[in-house]
Structure 1
């Protein structure tokens, strides 16, 4: 069967000593970042983008992917043991996970999170492998008009599914699109919005923007927080759940896997949305609803399965269509661009070892994470005793060196610092910066496909509504706008991101 041939190629690539080492490094870094509150995978991947210049493309992407889904695992450890979510998708795990730990069931809670994550990650990777070829074949039928319409749908989806205020999400996407216009016009060769600054004629550097918005800004915001952390002194025992625990957690893991796999594919979706939605679903469908908030095992199993499934299925639109569904995948686009790889269906045909090697590495990474997380819980908890006042200056120095090393320009360091201040102001104003990054990445691609469409149609705008695939995607985008405007849907959207 063709799928097994592809997977055989993938495993032969992923099981090389070099790629195994980088998969392990990514998983360790992801777990570390997940455990330490205040730094998420977005900031970490942004910081490590410059390092990927020196790595082979397959190894670089395997490491960055490991950081992303590894952070979902690590975030549950501190959420359960010390009531501090290491990562945004672990926020809901604190509700019941910490209560289980207080009742002396920390080991069971951690095992539930680990086993649920492992199962969901494996299933989601299988879905990714199964859907990759058919979706890539569909994508080859796309012309510039279809790609433009798909990106419009992606941006609208990102607005609809973004947490927080809709107007603020729209404003951030528009700002991202405008920042993407800075540089030299491809057709005329004229500088646009560069304000006679020579360094801006090539556009804003992606690494400087990403590291400033998600690295520097997060550190500045965390510096104003008190280090109110408690140390978990009790020894974690009884890791293996009982038969009754398995009976209760199994349906929650299955539901979380299905829900997370679906939400991960959607534009604007991702691990955070999946975990919140899974918790709401479990709370409404469980026979033990009265236990939620007091240590219900379903409240750990469902969200942890969902966030890991979403983290891995979010690679589907990136690898098959070339469209990043969330901000982390936008950073992956940046990493691919660094290595002169055009994300999309052509990756499967032009670089199959990279495509299938990345997919195979996810199974290997999930196995590594189970080994890393359960037996080494004590080590991860001890990391919480490291004062942030020592940690953050080291990270800032590392970020500065990384930004400078991309183009060897001090201007990029100043730009990253400027974006750090702007990103901090956005956080204070409760403006989620992730849509801005999506707009920045998709903006130039949208412009290119829009202009190419009009060149081919000789200026006829009707081409966007006369081609069946294009008009279908635009109708879907319009339907999303109409649906989210309904009061009942708007209320449900707000409810999905908060729990009492």
Structure 2
């Protein structure tokens, strides 16, 4: 565990004017892109990563975290006002949010979404702060054999819970690991699969692949789907007293928000489940405990509290496996890996030993982002009504230009831009064939570490499967991976995140 002086120094680094300015900027961008249906915080984070190269690592990561946190609340705004979720996480919020807004209380609905989002997010951040260091200590005691088994277990979770079938998820994971082998062999230093392109000696650029498969592919898909149909008009936020959210109404949802935060934190800590599953699970649990008030689906404020507290709690919990054992729990956490690597930082348990001050600075920035999210959201609820009316014919081409410029700057040439578009085409082809892109990307990010641990495992075991008996933790993880794959393959699947 880091000493108290290091922890206090990390928090001191977070609470600076420069860091606050970038957190504020990130939250504003996040709320904006969340409020515009079709963009979302993941795309915004992917576009923003190359532009953080010149920033201090803590400032850069804090900026990206601000985008992610602001985007989750921003996605609830079009869900409530025009019944069009800005992000998949906010789809469940529309079930009660839009009926409440349609009944003449859009302000009450959006404020409940904001307060529940910040409440759930803060809860999961506190859990992250207190749990990540102990998990990292345990991870440091794991050898290469245990790490290899742990990654296989993570792949089985991701492949089984994301996408239409376990087989397609496994194929996507294998393809991701295969693409990660492009470049120099970490064991012998010989080049592989570079086909004469010396730019691939160090492997495909993480930034180019991430932006291409996430942002550019989605932009191209959205541009192809743009029609001349006008968006449904937003409900005007009224300012009468009946539209306000009272303290008593907020407190009446305290147990609902606590349950949602717990559900979101638990599911967020498991790689592959994600915020959409958490939102629907929390909503279902709240609906089962109906107290006989306003019917759910007709504008019950507890329905909004349940979904927003749960999907926002996933944000902090996603970083528990990332910081504790180096495995991202979601695609946004996977993007943070590329941001860490841009600044020469290797995510995983060694962070608490080598970069403890940076990690606790990140924790402080996350708490600061929650407060900023509350203040910005409270001040700008009326402003985002205009954001959801922004024409897609302007938004998506502009976003594509930012992608090209960002990748060009981060990779230092047009080869990275070409790789970005190739990754986008691969993403579109995988989506069309039903292969989960998220599994591919996370496997690609983990591929280098998995290959290294696998090589070390083979040396340690010396070709003898019986030597595994000396590694009981690895045996348990492998058994869990096989059991989970069999169970998920037979249809025991959760809601995809």
What's the TM-score once normalised by structure 2's chain length? 0.93
1:377 to 2:381 alignment? yes
Q: Which residue of 2 aligns with 1:49?
A: 49
2: CA distance between counterparts of 1:99 and 1:376? 22
Q: Call closer, same or farther: CA 1:6–1:81 in 2, change over 3 Å.
A: farther
1: CA distance between counterparts of 2:293 and 2:489? 31
Q: Which residue of 1 aligns with 2:359?
A: 355
Q: Which residue of 2 aligns with 1:25?
A: 25
1: CA distance between counterparts of 2:368 and 2:137? 27
Q: Which residue of 2 aligns with 1:337?
A: 341
Report Cα offsets for 1:212-242 as digits up to 9, x if no partner: 1111111111111335422325233355434
Number of aligned positions between the proteins: 493
- Tell me whether 411-420 or 188-197 shows the greater mean CA deviation: 188-197
1: CA distance between counterparts of 2:435 and 2:39? 18
- How big is the shift at 1:244? 6.6
- Tell me whether 289-298 or 180-189 shows the greater mean CA deviation: 289-298
For the 8 Å contact 1:3–1:130, the answer to whether it is kept is: no
2: CA distance between counterparts of 1:200 and 1:304? 42
Q: Call closer, same or farther: CA 1:468–1:206 in 2, change over 3 Å.
A: same
Identify unmatched segments of 5+ residues in structure 1: none
For the 8 Å contact 2:185–2:191, the answer to whether it is kept is: yes
1: CA distance between counterparts of 2:465 and 2:22? 47
1:140 to 2:140 alignment? yes
- How big is the shift at 1:38? 1.0
Secondary structure of the residue aligned to 2:382 is helix
Structure-to-structure mapping, 1:400-415, within 5 angstroms:
400-415=404-419
* Among candidates 439, 450, 473, match of residue 454 of structure 2: 450
- Tell me whether 474-483 or 404-413 shows the greater mean CA deviation: 474-483
Structure-to-structure mapping, 1:141-290, within 5 angstroms:
141-223=141-223, 224-226=225-227, 228-237=230-239, 238=241, 240-242=244-246, 245-246=249-250, 248-288=252-292
Report Cα offsets for 1:387-430 as digits up to 9, x if no partner: 11112222111111111112222121112112222222333444
- How big is the shift at 1:141? 0.3
Q: Call closer, same or farther: CA 1:81–1:188 in 2, change over 3 Å.
A: same
Identify unmatched segments of 5+ residues in structure 2: none
Q: Which residue of 2 aligns with 1:365?
A: 369
Secondary structure of the residue aligned to 2:131 is helix
For the 8 Å contact 2:216–2:400, the answer to whether it is kept is: yes
For the 8 Å contact 1:158–1:325, the answer to whether it is kept is: no
Report Cα offsets for 1:123-165 as digits up to 9, x if no partner: 1111111112211211110111111111111111112222533
Report Cα offsets for 1:345-364 as digits up to 9, x if no partner: 22112122210011111111
Q: Which residue of 2 aligns with 1:327?
A: 331
Report Cα offsets for 1:276-333 as digits up to 9, x if no partner: 2222222333334982222222221111001111111111111121111222111111
- How big is the shift at 1:120? 1.1
For the 8 Å contact 2:102–2:235, the answer to whether it is kept is: no
1:117 to 2:117 alignment? yes
Q: Call closer, same or farther: CA 1:82–1:4 in 2, change over 3 Å.
A: farther
Q: Call closer, same or farther: CA 1:220–1:269 in 2, change over 3 Å.
A: same
Secondary structure of the residue aligned to 2:446 is helix
1: CA distance between counterparts of 2:211 and 2:299? 38
